[in-house]
Structure 1
């Protein structure tokens, strides 16, 4: 059974957001009640015209009841407009309450695909709250009121409405039963198609260079067609039920007119009740028809809400309050750290234990696939170990809030991963967006670029620090992007520096600047971890750690580890 707010840890922000919208929803429900009562106006007006005005020729009475009807209908239109505006504002408040928290959870979500979909799911929820879905739910409870009015008009009219309503409900239930799996399949197929399109767009240059345009287009078209076919199947199914419901409603309206006319001929109803019977029956079954039409959006919102609850439950630690700790000095400790990435069976890092003091430099080496990059990501706080603990000055990484921890860590990933924005934005980690004074951002960005030896290079760009980059740092060469990413890692003088293949795209001058930056960072007391294949950047590290198969095979002072590696190589050669 689906619960709006499951009793699970981590979903508290969702409850807070709903409470923030509670007043809007209450007023929308009140206005819906008034609107549905005022929908009786045409029925009462017609009965008065046929039963009082026509027989007596009372023009004054006609004018008076017409004025009352106009006022009532005007009030109805105003209230209907107001409840729509209230629900739109409820959707906006929901967005203000949750959008930033969802974005924060997406960043910490272990599964990228589910995280990337979360905002789209949230938009489905917000659309249902501010659209016809909630209005249909608010109008549905008033069907019994109109049914009662039909019985008061005449029992036969009430029975006709009741039977017709039951048939419509059965059709609605059948529609939901048949549409739910089809809508889910269409929804999942659309997600797959959009993901594939985005992946190809992000790697368009590689696709063109490798002659994969036609293959990529054919693959995308297959996925789009599959998604479109599933969506069409769901729409065809829903269309059949919608058409049947509309036919039945029109048939009921006609039957109600005929039945009321027969009752009027028999003297059991007044002539005014003939039209009133049709109007009442229409209003009694209209919420059911509206609910059927809004059902796909309600199903999408239900699925979206479940995705959000799973997302918040899976990232419950994000909002966990933490005690403010003093700034660390840079003492790093790994205690039996193991990492197994999602979707893999074997861990990429196995039981790594090490300690690094402030000012020490550690080089991490090993063959491709040995777990070096995964270890660097764990040390940088980019991913959480599957088991074991990473500590900074004795405190677990989780003891500090994510952004607070990141202030003390400088991370240069294997791929520079720059973002759309200016050079200054990228170097400063977009600090200006969080309210840091522009003068402070400028000063720290320039200082970091100078420490990375990238200041002169940046000044030679067309607009210097204000040069605008495209997505993924488009506009810079690979070497330039790596030097800007190094400056970003050094921003704010972090006490822990993690550099993954920092010289892979650097020329001789860039590598010299890198070595200077590492030496200066260590001299001011930062602990430095460097993952590298090329030996040049490891020439001056204090210690080496060698990985193989995710496990540590050697660790200690640089010369000792190198001697051990040379000895192992000699023994292997002798064995041959």
Structure 2
């Protein structure tokens, strides 16, 4: 989970990162604020026009004066329209700029931080979109107009102190109602947003595994669960909307009543000969304009709350340690030696140890098999070595250097990893094999093509890829749909071999392979052993385990045995049903 201080506040570092990321929007926002200032001054034109028409044109019957005033009025309104248009364009550009500067860093942290949950990863781009949309929303326009409300109040005081005082009282009353609206709706809206995020996360996971859902007869049950999830989110949203709508109706009533009250007050002042008759209408116009931003802010309160929630989540996300280390020393390519020092990993929810006290030294060019009962920690150990999960204790060292001292991306280029479930992405087969690298020119593209074909041939996947409808250019669906389990595993193996890595980490590499696939894997391991590549694999396959130089036996997150095959077989326990019984003489 994302760390938050005990006071629930974001660390200063996070605020500085987010403010730095948004600094590129500052020019746009300053321009928008300037246009708002000019626009709000021009909004006084109708009021001044009304005063002049009633006080000068009508008593003198001066049609020429009326024509001149009308031309000036139309010019002011045209300028107002231009500045409103410019402000809108500037804020749209600001929203696009905000997305541009936030999307990359936020997505990189979401993808590179193993501690984040799937729900938190899924929310990050939605939060960026929410911020982008809020910057160009009517609520943001109202926020830029609100600071200029004192201008209209000042003009009201110039007309008569009582008119100005009534506008101040009206503004305070509406602000109080807006504050009450915030208190009543903020918490329900936050709960509704969280419930909706959970509902969509569950839905997306179910849709991504639709074939398994159909095969297991879970369509109705998962649909019913999603309906329940949406029902909970909808109920929370309903409560928030009801609370907000009742206050919005009250605020609209109060605003209209205050405008009418301004007319009544103006009429009283006219009767007392304190102001002219034209000031009645002007007072009503000024009151309406002064209160309009507050009314618009309340109407767009849902947008404001959602933007604030998104901002807070992104703030906390950007507070996480960045994995981008461009200033790291460019270390030489690892030769393949791996050292495990007191490695420990705990379950994120209950703190239960998954791995504990894992020690071992693996020489460059060794082939290490990892075996043990289900749940013994084999996959977690491999994921810790490649950096797919956070380590709670100890170190993983490559050529004696701690993993944290390596540049993440540079190290990953020298490690080939194939997870237990082959994860392929939407794109062509070739793009998946080359890890979505793109050639900068024709020569670079040709090199990538050559590397993709070479990796596929080494994995024994070239023939099956060539048999696909468009060969290497066959487009795979989300999650690699379009390939069988065995085909997907061979493509994933080819991806692991891309770039001729010094270290190859395979998790249950024979799980989906047929006889031909296993033979191809055996030939691959033999050639990699000859090339002095370091290989680690977890498996229950006795033939594959027999090909290892040393065997690591795990049980309940600890190393039971780690040594040569024959030494382990001679010392195996009578009741042990794992790798030692698989080893061939």
Secondary structure, counterpart of 1:326 in structure 2: coil
Residues paired across the two proteins, number: 570
Aligned positions of 1:139-150 closer than 5 A: 139-150=145-156
* Superposition deviation, residue 66 in structure 1: 0.8
CA distance in 2, matches of 1:519, 1:351: 31
Secondary structure, counterpart of 1:431 in structure 2: coil
Which of 29, 46, 53 is the aligned partner of 1:49? 53
* Superposition deviation, residue 239 in structure 1: 0.9
Matched, 1:324 2:330: yes
Kept after mapping to 2: 8 A contact 1:108/1:315: no
* Superposition deviation, residue 567 in structure 1: 6.0
Matched, 1:69 2:73: yes
Kept after mapping to 2: 8 A contact 1:10/1:317: no
* Superposition deviation, residue 5 in structure 1: 10
Which position in structure 2 is the counterpart of 1:506?
513
CA distance in 2, matches of 1:241, 1:434: 57
Kept after mapping to 2: 8 A contact 1:88/1:131: no
Alpha-carbon distance change, 118 to 569 in structure 1, aligned in 2, over 3 angstroms: closer
* Superposition deviation, residue 82 in structure 1: 0.8
Which position in structure 2 is the counterpart of 1:212?
218
Which position in structure 2 is the counterpart of 1:451?
458
Per-residue CA distance 1:530-571 (angstroms, 9 max, x = gap): 10001111122111100000000100112212222266759x
Which position in structure 1 is the counterpart of 2:24?
20
Which position in structure 2 is the counterpart of 1:311?
317
Aligned positions of 1:178-327 closer than 5 A: 178-319=184-325, 321-327=327-333
Kept after mapping to 2: 8 A contact 1:329/1:358: yes
Which of 316, 338, 343 is the aligned partner of 2:349? 343
Secondary structure, counterpart of 1:165 in structure 2: helix
Which of 323, 326, 334 is the aligned partner of 2:340? 334
Secondary structure, counterpart of 1:335 in structure 2: strand
* Superposition deviation, residue 319 in structure 1: 4.8
Secondary structure, counterpart of 1:21 in structure 2: helix
Which position in structure 1 is the counterpart of 2:580?
none
Matched, 1:518 2:525: yes
Kept after mapping to 2: 8 A contact 1:146/1:283: yes
Per-residue CA distance 1:426-464 (angstroms, 9 max, x = gap): 111111288892111101001101111111221122221
Secondary structure, counterpart of 1:316 in structure 2: coil
* Superposition deviation, residue 9 in structure 1: 3.4
Which of 371, 376, 386 is the aligned partner of 1:380? 386
* Superposition deviation, residue 258 in structure 1: 2.3
Secondary structure, counterpart of 1:461 in structure 2: coil
* Superposition deviation, residue 176 in structure 1: 0.5
Which position in structure 2 is the counterpart of 1:158?
164
Between 1:54-63 and 1:103-112, the stretch displaced more is: 103-112
Secondary structure, counterpart of 1:323 in structure 2: coil
Secondary structure, counterpart of 1:363 in structure 2: strand
Kept after mapping to 1: 8 A contact 2:10/2:316: no
Q: Which runs of 5+ in 1 are unaligned?
A: 571-576
Per-residue CA distance 1:100-135 (angstroms, 9 max, x = gap): 111111112312221221111222222222222322
Give the superposed CA RMSD. Answer: 2.1
Kept after mapping to 2: 8 A contact 1:151/1:158: yes
Which position in structure 2 is the counterpart of 1:107?
111
CA distance in 2, matches of 1:9, 1:280: 44
CA distance in 2, matches of 1:416, 1:541: 22
Between 1:97-106 and 1:429-438, the stretch displaced more is: 429-438
Q: Which runs of 5+ in 2 are unaligned?
A: 578-585
TM-score (norm 2): 0.94
Which of 125, 128, 148 is the aligned partner of 1:122? 128
* Superposition deviation, residue 400 in structure 1: 2.5
Kept after mapping to 2: 8 A contact 1:411/1:498: yes
CA distance in 2, matches of 1:462, 1:538: 36
Aligned positions of 1:86-105 closer than 5 A: 86-105=90-109
Secondary structure, counterpart of 1:552 in structure 2: strand
CA distance in 2, matches of 1:233, 1:319: 46
Which of 536, 550, 554 is the aligned partner of 2:561? 554
TM-score (norm 1): 0.95
Which of 474, 478, 481 is the aligned partner of 2:485? 478
CA distance in 1, matches of 2:506, 2:16: 37
* Superposition deviation, residue 317 in structure 1: 3.9
CA distance in 2, matches of 1:270, 1:365: 95
CA distance in 2, matches of 1:192, 1:384: 24
Secondary structure, counterpart of 1:437 in structure 2: helix
Structure 1 residue ranges, 4+ long, deviating more than 6 angstroms after superposition:
1-5, 433-436
CA distance in 1, matches of 2:65, 2:406: 76
